[in-house]
Amino acid sequence: MIEQSEWVFFRDIDWDDKQWTWFNVDTRDFHVGYNNHEAIDARKLLQYPDFFWTAEEIKALLERLFEESGGPVKWRYLSVDGSWELKYLRICRHEEKFIVCNSNRYALRKKYLNQPINTEHLNAH
């Protein structure tokens, strides 16, 4: 992928392009900015496989979250637990896998992100 001046739609991201280490998914519209910042220190997470995602799992996760939260709407409030810590999904490349973090760069387990979408405050429009 070449560097873009605008964020790109999540389906247009090449997750196999190893030159990019961070992906910031804005869950209000599912556009992604990507860059080459230093990766997070994953040493503590290595013993927990539930923190590591393949590229195919990332694609499936984003597709599910996008569709279940309203699909092609202009704006949405995405959460699985009622908080807005998922305003941005920060996805960090770690070797051949990825770590998905919330807006504050706290790593999230697959079990957490695989919860149903909270529709009480979704406000997709």
Classify residue 3: in a domain, yes or no.
Answer: no
Sign of the dihedral through C-alpha 9, 17, 64, 119: negative
> Is the residue at 2 inside a domain?
no
Is 121 within the bounds of a domain? Answer: no
Could you tell me if residue 118 is inside a domain?
no
pLDDT tens track for 99-111: 999 999 899 999 9
Is residue 42 packed enough to be buried (19+ CB in 10 Å), middle (13-18) or exposed (0-12)?
middle
Helix or strand or coil: residue 32? strand
DSSP calls for 42-109:
-TTTTT-GGGEE-HHHHHHHHHHHHHHTTSS-S-----SSSSSTTSEEEEEEETTEEEEE-TT--B--
With 0-12 / 13-18 / 19 or more C-beta atoms within 10 angstroms meaning exposed / middle / buried, residue 57 is middle
Confirm whether 26 is domain-assigned.
yes
- Collapsing DSSP to helix, strand or coil, 10 comes out as helix
22 in a structural domain: yes
Residue 90 lies in a domain: yes
Tokens of residue 70, six digits: 């309203």
Q: What pTM was estimated for this model as a whole? A: 0.90
Bridge partners for 107 per DSSP:
101
* 62 assigned to some structural domain: yes
Q: How many distinct structural domains can be found in the chain?
A: 1
Tokens 């697959």 locate to: 110
| Of 52 and 6, more confident | 52
pLDDT, tens digit (0-9, with 9 covering 90-100), for 44-97? 888 899 999 999 999 999 999 999 998 998 888 888 876 778 999 999 998 889
Q: Name the DSSP letter for residue 5.
A: S
Domain span holding position 14:
8-113
